[in-house]
Amino acid sequence: MKYARPIALILFSCLILVFSEFESPSGLTATQAPEPQMMSVEDLKTKLGRGRVTVIDVRDAKSYTASNNRIKGSIYVKVRRLAYRLTFSPLKDVPRDSDVVTYCACPHDEASFHAARILLDNGFKRVYVLQGGWDGWRKANGPMEPRPRG
């Protein structure tokens, strides 16, 4: 009997941990970040014109080097290095509650979604995936600039 109270406390703690992993009414678990939203090319053009957005280019190295341009003002980061790069400028200086848009050259924006999830998991609140990615941007004649060489 002298162990009954500590055992009950341990069991109760385990139950709290188990139930915290179940979905809440909002559809999110306690450890799950929200899903990234899509942003249209036209919406991004508008936000860029106002200077109220950070754009992150996560095209693979082959696509990036094959192109001479990038979205104006975008920051190029390899997806596999994104979480690490968030600790260095310029990404560490991006406010966590500002709009951040990722884009890639994948047919279904896979790399952009992966990068967006990394950003959400690291405390960013308003993360978007550019619908249509790099190809959609080029077709819509969105503002571009030459990519840095090197």
Q: Is residue 2 part of a domain?
A: no
Q: pLDDT digit string (tens) for 10-30?
A: 544 544 544 444 444 444 444
Q: Is residue 8 part of a domain?
A: no
Percent of the chain with pLDDT strictly greater than 70: 77
Output the pLDDT for position 14: 43
Q: What predicted TM-score, i.e. pTM, was given to this entire model?
A: 0.78
How many domains is the chain partitioned into structurally?
A: 1
Q: Is residue 3 part of a domain?
A: no
Of 82, 137, 75, 130, nearest in space to 108 by CA: 130
Q: pLDDT digit string (tens) for 32-90?
A: 668 899 999 999 999 999 988 999 999 999 999 999 999 999 999 999 999 999 999 99
Cβ-based burial of 58 (10 A; exposed 0-12, middle 13-18, buried ≥19): buried
Q: What is the CB neighbour count within 10 angstroms for residue 2?
A: 5
Residue-range definition of the domain harbouring residue 115: 34-146
Give the separation between CA 32 and CA 30, rounded to whole angstroms. Answer: 6
Element of type H or E holding 66:
helix 61-66
* Higher-scoring residue by pLDDT: 5, 106: 106
Output the pLDDT for position 32: 64
CATH number at residue 97: 3.40.250.10
Output the pLDDT for position 103: 98
Q: Is residue 46 part of a domain?
A: yes
Q: Is residue 137 part of a domain?
A: yes
Q: Is residue 14 part of a domain?
A: no
